[in-house]
Amino acid sequence: MKDIADPDLDVSLTELIVCPHCDAVYRLKVPEMGEKAICQRCNAVLIAPRRKAGLKIIAISLATFFLILGAAFFPFLNIDAAGNKNSVSVIDAAFAFSSGPLLLLALATAGLILFVPLIRVVLTLYVLVPIVLDLPPARHAMDAFRFSEALRPWSMAEIFALGCAVALVKIADLATVGFGPAFWMFGGLVVLVVGQDSFMCRWSVWNSLEHPNKS
Amino acid sequence: MEFSGTSQQILSAREMGIVACTRCTKAWPMGTQTCARCGHKMVSRDFGSLQRVWAFWIMGLMCYVPANTYPMLQTRTLFQSDESTIVGGAVELAQHGAFGIAFIILLASVAIPLAKFWAIAFLAVSVKSRRATANHSRQIMYEVVEYIGRWSMIDIFVVAILSSLVQLNTLASINPGPASMFFALSVIFTMLSAQAFDSRMIWDEQAKDEDPS
Ligand SMILES: [Zn+2]
Ligand SMILES: [Zn+2]
């Protein structure tokens, strides 16, 4: 953002944008598609519109939705040591903590790797589908999007995926470990989660929710 | 991109009598309490936030101690059963030659949590002191803490995967130890502590210095 707000000019507040990280004020100027407006003070990306971003995010969200469900119930790792076999799904892994107080940890784990990502996908679809179809925003779409944003740091599917790799190495000399179908689903899921974040311009979503028929 | 302007002229919303929504970036007159666009609660500076930062910080640290002294994993094989702490487990891996993984575990569950405690404390103290030093590095530090903090959860996920997978009847079994609970709580509390911190305060001293009046 180049246009630093001038304190002497009585600009209307609707023409301003304030960096949420450092409180710097700029005059709102929406960049071209594919360009970025970056905070000069702290380098945060303020606006980054992408062409057809809504459609891409919806497609990614739908794929994510089915991948999460698939990854949850299909086995994702199996083990074979001297004829003793075992295979586990992500749900099994979360509920490995199931004795006594560790049950809380099981719920937390299941939440961080399955439920939070799932809730975020549903909220994203709920908010974006009406926008992309040029319909009026869904009821409480703002609250839904705000909640989805608040959940963002608690969505940890990608961390779980790296955890699989670490676990594999840890038991490599103990047993033969094989990948189940859900392992690849989880791999794909990580790529999608990262991709969704790079397409999502939060400011554009807020703006279209505020002015439904202008975009 | 657009770094051309001189950062000297940048004004904070607080100085202009504006309060901004940290969720949706919209500006409102000072004193507005709820963002009329997205419904987020707004304060110009959350001074009470430092108390929450320290409260979560202390809880996180209190959980971090038992997370390291209690066993993280209980491994039972045919002939022996064995309990290992986080550091003990990493040392064992290094002895088996898996230096890479030992390094990742030490980094993720010892170095990063400790660095995070230090960084949050440093930031919380620095906004209270009158010296305005290196705002950019403090901002980067804050972003790194926020971004990297979540990754400490990897240890819990590894324990979950191992404990569910290695259940081989009499041959071998791995079960989670009490440290897993404390470690998870410690990560969650430090994440909450970092989220409670109002990063806009990092820039306030600089703004005051530039004010000629
Ligand atoms: Zn900024
Ligand atoms: Zn708002």
* B138 touches A22 (CB < 8 A): no
- What's the pLDDT score for residue B131? 62
- What's the pLDDT score for residue B2? 40
- Nearest-CA distance from A80 to chain B in Å? 9
Closest by Cβ to A102, choosing from B98, B176, B203: B176
Distance CA A134, CA A137 (A): 9
- Nearest-CA distance from B199 to chain A in Å? 6
- What's the pLDDT score for residue A169? 76
Rounded to the nearest angstrom, the distance between the alpha carbon of A40 and the centre of ligand 1 is: 7
CB distance from A194 to chain B under 8 Å? no
Contact A38 B96 (CB under 8 A): no
- What's the pLDDT score for residue B115? 92
Three-state DSSP state, B24: coil
Mean pLDDT of A129-133: 88
Kindly indicate the confidence band of residue A194, based on its pLDDT and cuts at 50, 70 and 90: confident
CA angle B189, B190, B192 (to 5 degrees): 65
pLDDT reading at A11 higher than 80: no
Distance CA B11, CA B31 (A): 18
pLDDT reading at B212 higher than 60: no
pLDDT reading at B184 higher than 80: yes
Burial of B85 (0-12, 13-18, 19+ CB in 10 A): middle
Task: Please write the tens of the pLDDT for every residue from A30-45.
Answer: 888 888 899 988 888 8
Q: Which residue of A has its CA nearest to B41?
A: A146
Average pLDDT of every residue of chain B: 83
pLDDT reading at B133 higher than 70: no
Encoding tokens for residue A140? 């409480």
pLDDT reading at B149 higher than 50: yes
Distance CA A182, CA B156 (A): 20
Kindly indicate the confidence band of residue A165, based on its pLDDT and cuts at 50, 70 and 90: confident
pLDDT reading at A10 higher than 80: no
Distance CA B101, CA B86 (A): 12
Contact B172 A109 (CB under 8 A): no
Kindly indicate the confidence band of residue A81, based on its pLDDT and cuts at 50, 70 and 90: confident
CB distance from B23 to chain A under 8 Å? yes
- What's the pLDDT score for residue B148? 85
* A1-49 CATH fold: Rubrerythrin, domain 2 (2.20.28)
Burial of A94 (0-12, 13-18, 19+ CB in 10 A): buried
How many Cβ pairs within 8 Å bridge chains A and B? Answer: 216
Those of residues 26-65 in B touching chain A at CB distance below 8 A are 26-29, 37-40
- What does B63-111 look like in DSSP terms, one character per residue? HHHHHHHS-SEEEEESS-EEEE-HHHHHHHHHHTT-HHHHHHHHIIIII
**Whether the predicted model's global pTM rises above the 0.90 cut:** no
Percent of chain B with pLDDT over 90: 25
Q: How many helices (H) and strands (E) does chain A have?
A: 8, 7
Distance CA B190, CA B56 (A): 6
CB distance from B102 to chain A under 8 Å? no
Task: Please write the tens of the pLDDT for every residue from B64-86.
Answer: 999 999 998 888 877 788 888 88
Using the CB atoms, write b or e for A2-20: b if 16+ within 10 Å.
ebbbeeeeebebeebbbbb
Q: What are the CA-CA distances from residue A176 to residues A76, A89, B67, B79, B80 (Å)? A: 14, 17, 30, 20, 21
ipTM for the predicted complex comes to 0.84
Q: Which of B96, B67, B70 is nearest to B83 (CA)?
A: B70
Contact A40 B5 (CB under 8 A): yes
- What's the pLDDT score for residue B7? 46
Q: What phi and psi values does residue B175 have, to the nearest 5 degrees?
A: -130, 150
- What's the pLDDT score for residue A176? 78
Distance CA B182, CA A183 (A): 28
Kindly indicate the confidence band of residue A82, based on its pLDDT and cuts at 50, 70 and 90: confident
Contact B166 A159 (CB under 8 A): no
- Nearest-CA distance from B62 to chain A in Å? 18
Rounded to the nearest angstrom, the distance between the alpha carbon of A214 and the centre of ligand 2 is: 19
Mean pLDDT of B30-36: 89
pLDDT reading at A135 higher than 90: no
Rounded to the nearest angstrom, the distance between the alpha carbon of A42 and the centre of ligand 1 is: 4
Pairing mode, strands B73-77 and A16-18: unpaired
Neighbours of ion ligand 1 (CB under 5 A): A 19, 21-22, 24, 39, 41-42, 44
- What's the pLDDT score for residue B205? 65
Ligand closest to the CA atom of residue B25: 2
pLDDT reading at B87 higher than 80: yes
